Structure 1
Amino acid sequence: MLKRYLVLSVATAAFSLPSLVYAAQQNILSVHILNQQTGKPAADVTVTLEKKADNGWLQLNTAKTDKDGRIKALWPEQTATTGDYRVVFKTGDYFKKQNLESFFPEIPVEFHINKVNEHYHVPLLLSQYGYSTYRGS
C-alpha cells in the first residue's frame, strides 16, 4: 500500500511540476523587498504596477509581498506589451505597521520593457530613510 502511495505521489508531482514551471515562466514581472535595517524580507507590502499613458499612469495590477518579501507574478493576466512602466512600493504603510517613521511613503520605480519575452525582476533594498534598486534576474 505504501509503495503504491509513493508511486502515485511521485507521478502526481512529475505531472504537476511542468505546469508550475510553465506558469512561472509566463509572468514576466517579479519584485522582491529586503529591509536593510533588519536584514529580513519585507512582508505584506502593497505594490502596484502601472503603465505610462498619455494623461498619466494607468494601474494594471496590485499585490502584496509574501513572507519572503516577494511577488513572483506581478504582471496581470493580459499579454505583455512594450512601453514605460512603474512599480510603486507602498513603504510608508509597511513602516507604520511597525511603529516606525519613514521618509518615503511610496517608492515609484520606473522602467522600460522592450522585450516581452524576457523576465523583469525589480528588487528593492529598503530602510526608513533610503532605498536602492536595480534590474535583477
Structure 2
Amino acid sequence: MKTLKTLLAGVMLSGFASFAVADANPLSVHVLNLQDGLPSSAVTVTLEKKDGETWQALNKGVTNEQGRISELYPQGKALEKGLYRVTFKTGEWFAKHEMKSFFPEVPVIFEVDGSVPHYHIPLLLSPYGFSTYRGN
C-alpha cells in the first residue's frame, strides 16, 4: 500500500506536469455560458496581432468540451509584445443552439507587455451580455 507521502508526491508531480503543458503555449481562452453555467464547446475563436493600422491573422481554433482552447498562439512562435485581438464568434454559437443573441461576436483587445509568460482570456457569455478579464 502506498504511503500518504508517496500519493501526495504523485499528485504534486502530475499537477506540475499539467502546469508545464499549459505554459508551453503562451495564450489560452475559456468560454462559459452564464445562462446554464456550463462550458461553451464549439465556439470559433480567432487571434490577430495589430501591425500598424491593420490586424494580422495569426491563428484560429474551436473550444473543446470544457469550453477551452489551451494553445491558441501559433506553435513554435515566440510571443511578441504588442496589441492582440481575440474574437469569439458568439453569434454562430448561439445560432447553432437555436438561441437569439445581441452580440454576433465578442472582440477582446489586450496588450502583451512581456511581464508574464502566459496570457489567459476567459469569456463569460449570455445572449445579451458578456464579461471578460485577465485570467491565469
TM-score range for the pair, normalised by the shorter chain length: 0.7 to 0.9
Task: Name the stretch that deviates more: 49-58 or 17-26.
Answer: 17-26
Aligned to 1:128: 127
Equivalent residue runs for 1:8-87 within 5 Å: 22-77=20-75, 78-87=77-86
1:92 aligns with 2:91: yes
Counterpart residue identity of residue 41, structure 1? P
Q: How does 1:108-123 map to 2 (within 5 A)?
A: 108-115=107-114, 118-123=117-122
8 A contact 1:80–1:116 mirrored in 2: no
Contact 1:82–1:116 (CA<8 Å) still a contact in 2? Answer: no
Q: Indicate if the aligned counterparts of 1:81 and 1:116 stay in contact, CA closer than 8 A.
A: no
Shift of 1:101: 0.7
Q: By how many angstroms is 1:20 displaced?
A: 7.0
Structure with greater Cα Rg = 1
1:93-119: CA deviations, max 9, x gaps?
000001111110010000000117511
CA distance in 2 between counterparts of 1:41 and 1:72 reads 14
TM-score, normalised to structure 1, is: 0.82
Identity %: 50
Match of 1:5 in 2: none
Any gaps of 5 or more consecutive residues in structure 1?
1-16
- Please give the root-mean-square deviation of Cα atoms over the aligned residues, in Å: 1.9
Q: Segments of 4+ in structure 1 off by > 3 A?
A: 17-24
Aligned length: 122
- How far is the alpha carbon of 1:26 from its aligned partner? 2.0
8 A contact 1:28–1:117 mirrored in 2: no
SS of equivalent residue, structure 2 residue 35: coil
